[in-house]
Amino acid sequence: MSLSIIKPGLLDTIQDLGRTGYSRLGINSGGAMDRYAAQVANMLVGNETPEAVIEIHFPGAQFLFEQNTLISITGGDFNAMLNDEPVPLWHPIVVRKNAVLHFPKLQSGSRCYLAVHGGLCVNRWLNSYSTHLKAGAGGFQGRKLEKGDEIPFRESRIYFAGLLKPGREFEVLKWKVDTGNTYRHPNEIYIIKGNEWDQLTEQSQQHLQEDNFTIHPFSDRMGYQLKGVDLKRTDNTELVSSGVSFGTIQLLPNGQLIVLMADHQTTGGYPRVGHVISAHLPKLAQLRPSDCIHFETTDLATAENLLLAQQQELNILQRACTERLNQMVC
Amino acid sequence: MTNQYKIFPLGDAAVTLDMGNTISETLNQKALAMQQWLLAHPFEGLKDCLVAYSSLTLLYNPVIIKKYYKPADTVFAWVADLLQEAFDKALSTPTASRDVIRIPVCYEEPYAPDLAALAREKQLTTGEVIHLHTAPVYNVYMIGFLPGFSYMGEVHERIAMPRKQYPAPVNAGSVGIAGSQTGIYPLNSPGGWQIVGQTPLRLFEPFAPEPVKLQAGDRVQFYAISKNEFMEYIQRL
């Protein structure tokens, strides 16, 4: 029971919802960039949401399934193909042994997630499957996936072959997730004001709220560097380092902004002018270099309510997926 | 003891209690005491708790807090109240009584790429820099940046030197100076600190029962070892 990598991709790593409890040792949380897509991928195949998934960047790897199984692909659209036939995102898909999954073309988004029914058997390090590249720990041997890697998955009680039509290599199951609420208006990113917001000049505050910012090519899992007009502080006092979080928007000494993403360091010393709200991190995680961002300030209560609403949707989805999968087995 | 502090949201899933933009042992001890209090009084949804120089940051899951405690106001307000309670109830214990962790450092080439330049800049001999760097017992204020990267201070003002303008590759174990701070790189990494030596000790071992050797609140003193001693250490480890 495993899948193997027949051709490596740019950066394909094992991720989950992040590593918690070790920030005070400088060990950052990491985890999936788009946690919504990662959770939905697991739900579609009947897994618990903290299961390990594969986060795929474009160009993605080619995967060979060495056993019949149930998979799902969510997040960015890289034109997923099973044995050269296109397959849709956000659906459960039964695949036959020896089917090959590949991603020939970047359509939209920045990273996609592959989940396998039962979950992947990979290394847990400090209570998380997430790959910590710097530490060389967690996930698959603490590194990105390479040619020849075999990732075992857990055995299943479902007889998948019975769901495949003769001669077909895969079967897309009927139900699909409506992701509209999460990814609507992809470039509109809500933020709440950071502690050093008030140190921005009035004009800079205005720029931050009204201008478009472009995602710089030097953006990665650690952070998105943004290009825009130089922002200024009225107070240029240096700050002593303190904690930062996923979504923190820092003002760099050159007047440009950086948004801290999943692999951000635990602490930082640049002014925190704002924070992307949690509910909008998934859509931010799907933006790409040269995409535009427009920030809109909101308040904490709104931010919390949007996150709760997103979670409620996920809860409903999980119940529905479990029900459908149970019916399928009976 | 200070009573000055500010609690502010660090996004919608984190909160910071900040006691001032300063490096102070007293404030750092207070932050550590609060961390201890919170770890002894954890709440559902608490994900992480980290001490920096003069602040404490909590990372939390708002959804879980909402579900368990049903706060009337925002989740942030609920966590902020708890932080305030931690501030009121946590008693600082001076760390001065703690055992000093002695760390061997080789201040010779090729382990000290920036030592000569720092000495020149400060009009000191390298011997004087080493003496000034090994004399004090440093306080570990915080761990951050990389797994196990220790921010210690404060170095003697005569060897305080700003970061390099451009980061350069740094070897694991390198001991650096940045402003009045000193610290040890636990991993190979790009870094901007002035590297004055290297320890043969491994301060981060991902698969050891305690992956990170130094913690905030520890007290550290460096002592100089020769290149030969450095090699002996490496062979022994």
Q: Do B76 and A300 touch (CB under 8 A)?
A: yes
Among B198, B188, B203, residue whose Cα is nearest residue B150: B203
- Residue B43: C-alpha distances to residues A130, A203, B38, B59 (Å): 24, 41, 8, 12
Please answer yes or no on whether B16 and A242 come within 8 Å at the CB atom. yes
Instruction: Tell me the per-residue pLDDT of B60-69, one tens digit each, with 9 for 90 and over.
Output: 999 999 999 9
pLDDT tens-place string over residues B83-120:
999 999 998 877 667 899 999 999 999 999 999 999 99
With CA atoms as reference, the chain A residue closest to B145 would be A265
Does residue A316 or residue A325 have the better pLDDT?
A: A316
Nearest to A26 by CA among A266, A268, A270: A266
Q: Does A246 sit within 8 Å of B207, measured CB to CB?
A: no
Q: Give pLDDT, residue A47.
A: 96
Hey, which residues does A13 pair with through a beta bridge? A55
Residue A137 has its nearest CB partner, among B57, B206, B215, at: B206
Task: Tokens for B70, please give them.
Answer: 């049903």
Minimal Cα–Cα distance from A86 to chain B, Å? Answer: 37
Contact B57 A241 (CB under 8 A): no
Residue spans of the domains in chain B: they are 6-93, 97-236
Q: Chain A contacts of B75, Cβ < 8 Å?
A: 304
Distance CA(A211)–CA(B98), nearest Å, equals 53
Q: Which residues of B touch A247 (CB under 8 A)?
A: 11
Q: What is the pLDDT of residue A137?
A: 97
pLDDT 10s digits, A69-105: 999 999 999 999 999 999 999 999 999 999 999 999 9
A309–chain B nearest CA distance, Å: 10
A215: tokens are 């995602």
Q: What is the ipTM of this complex?
A: 0.95
Can you give the residue ranges of every domain in chain A? Answer: 2-180, 185-298
Q: Are B19 and B54 contacting, i.e. CB atoms less than 8 angstroms apart? A: yes
From chain A, the residues in CB contact with B187 under 8 A are 134-135
User: Nearest-CA neighbor of A284 among A318, A266, A259?
Assistant: A259
When CB atoms are compared, the residue of A26, A137, A244 closest to B146 is A26
Residue numbers in A near B22 (CB within 8 A): 240
Query: How many CB atoms lie under 10 A from the CB of residue B68?
Result: 11
Contact A244 B10 (CB under 8 A): yes
Euclidean distance between CA atoms A304 and A301, whole angstroms: 5
Radius of gyration, alpha carbons of chain A? 21
- Tens digits of residue pLDDT in A230-258: 999 998 888 999 999 999 999 999 999 99
Half-sphere exposure of A213 (CA within 13 A, CB side): 30
Does the beta-carbon distance from B144 to A245 stay under 8 Å?
Answer: no
**Interchain CB contact of A240 with B (< 8 Å):** yes
Report yes or no: A32 and A73 within 8 Å, Cβ to Cβ: no
Nearest Cα to Cα of residue B96 among B40, B175, B32: B32
In angstroms, the separation between the Cα of residue B207 and the nearest Cα of chain A is 8
pLDDT at A162: 86
Identify the CA nearest to A185 among candidates A47, A55, A91, A279: A279
**Strand partners of residue A294:** A188, A212
Instruction: Give residue-wise pLDDT tens across range A103-156.
Output: 999 999 999 999 999 999 999 999 999 999 999 999 999 999 999 999 999 888
Q: Which residue type is seen at B137?
A: V
- Rounded Cα–Cα distance for residues B116 and B126 (Å): 6
For domain B97-236, the CATH architecture is: Beta Barrel (2.40)
CB B67 within 8 Å of CB B192: no
Question: Residue B48 and residue A22: Cβ atoms within 8 Å?
Answer: yes
A304 → closest Cβ in B12, B142, B216:
B12
What is the CATH T-level fold of the domain A185-298, as seen in this structure?
Answer: Cyclophilin (2.40.100)
CATH: 3.30.1360.40, 3.50.20.10, 1.10.3450.40, 3.65.10.10. Which one for B6-93?
A: 3.30.1360.40
